[in-house]
Amino acid sequence: MAPPKPMNGVSVAIAALILLLVACCHCVDANDQQQFMAPQNAARAHLRLRPLVWDAKLARYAQWWANQRRGDCALIHSNGPYGENLFWGSGNSWSPAQAANGWLSEARSYNYYSNSCKSEMCGHYTQIVWKSTQRIGCAHVICNGGGGVFLACSYDPPGNFLGRRPY
């Protein structure tokens, strides 16, 4: 039997791409997608808004940003082209549903008539129920050194424009 031939530059690039795709595909599985989306779409349905649709491009962006934050898990926004909700929790057992429900709990602080937050933050909630937003992609990582769990969702088109109501 002959020894395997060394890979050329194109073969190496293809192999690297395959590894990247395989590594990213397991980042958020179908169960995680459901956990991220079900609470958010339930809130949208309650307001008679169209459900958000999972978007692989947004999920890759959210995963890219989550990977950037893996080292420090700081709640710093990417300042990218999408709307964005971030969540951090200590330990390593926070689920996508817990993050989504945490964001949705801000609904109690949102006053539609004054289009403002009563006392606490409510921008995560208003991004979720932003009427023109159609797509979502999310990710989560375990932070380095036991630093907790970092979860991120990207939304397109983005919401939370100053002076405009979400719905």
Domain boundaries, the chain: 32-156
Which tens digit of pLDDT belongs to each residue from 42-72?
999 999 999 999 999 999 999 999 999 999 9
Does the predicted TM-score (pTM) go above 0.85? no
User: What's the length of the chain?
Assistant: 167
Asked whether the predicted pLDDT for residue 84 surpasses 50, the reply is yes
The four Cα atoms 163, 87, 73, 135 give a dihedral, to 10 degrees, of: -70
Task: Say if residue 11's pLDDT is above 50.
Answer: no
Which CATH superfamily is 32-156 part of? Answer: CAP (3.40.33.10)
Find out whether the peptide bond into 157 is cis, omega within 30 degrees of 0.
Answer: yes
Q: Please give the structure tokens belonging to residue 85.
A: 């909700």
Percentage above 90 pLDDT, the chain: 82
Q: Tell me what the mean pLDDT of segment 140-165 comes to.
A: 97
Position 27 confidence tier, pLDDT thresholds 50, 70, 90: low
> What average pLDDT does this structure show over 75-101?
97
- Mean per-residue pLDDT, 99-128: 96
pLDDT of the residue at 24: 43
